[in-house]
Structure 1
Amino acid sequence: MPRRENPIDPHAPYAGLALLLRRAREEAGLPPYEALAHRTGFSVSALAQAASGRRLPSLTVTVAYGTACGGDREFWAAQWNVARTRRADAGFSGSAPHCPLTPAVAGRWESSCSACAS
């Protein structure tokens, strides 16, 4: 049985993108990272790190992860851009970021958003 993922730290600089990636994986039926690695060509550790929120994964990893879970390339590229831009605009200081969800997904996942819940 696969090891349980650590919770996303709401203070992590890319918690919003990590939340979206994990939610996509959940909606895809929680395929193990080994299966995602096979589908994407990226390592298990690269995929798990992408969903940790601690650092911005590459655009390529983000899009591959999201599309392997049944998502749309343009959607995942846009979410990556939002994460990158918000991090740069916020000048991350270690405090909880503002809501990381774009308007397109906020209605669906707002209750799961650690920034919105606080």
Structure 2
Amino acid sequence: MLSQPHDDECEERAAIIEHDGGLPRRWAEPLARLLTAPKPGAYLPERWEIIRADAAELVGRNWARLDTVGWSPADVKALIPMIDGRRILAIHMGDLVVEMPNGSKATICRRPVIDGPANWNEGRRTG
């Protein structure tokens, strides 16, 4: 079967992310799929760009920490839209802390699921 243009672009992007960015293939492939995917109809173009930038920031800069705390690419998939362009301050086993526009902190809590990716809920804000 012939590969599709998106498949070729995705494979090339994954190789670049893996080689130049130093990410393991298990993180490079899902990131490349997201970065090369066409915008889903449900998202405005500006929102889709924020999601893509958040994915690149979270995974590209923090993959080793994500591995250390036991998160998988599937766990992170539902988290990425919740970051919403906010600066990532900390990654813990059970949560991610982001900076709000006013400088306060918000915690996005990880809720593990048996035999499936984690669920995420934004928790209380801390000062």
| Structure 2 length-normalised TM | 0.29
Query: Considering only CA atoms, is the larger Rg found in Structure 1 or Structure 2?
Result: 2
More helix by share: 1
| Structure 1 length-normalised TM | 0.31
More strand by share: 2
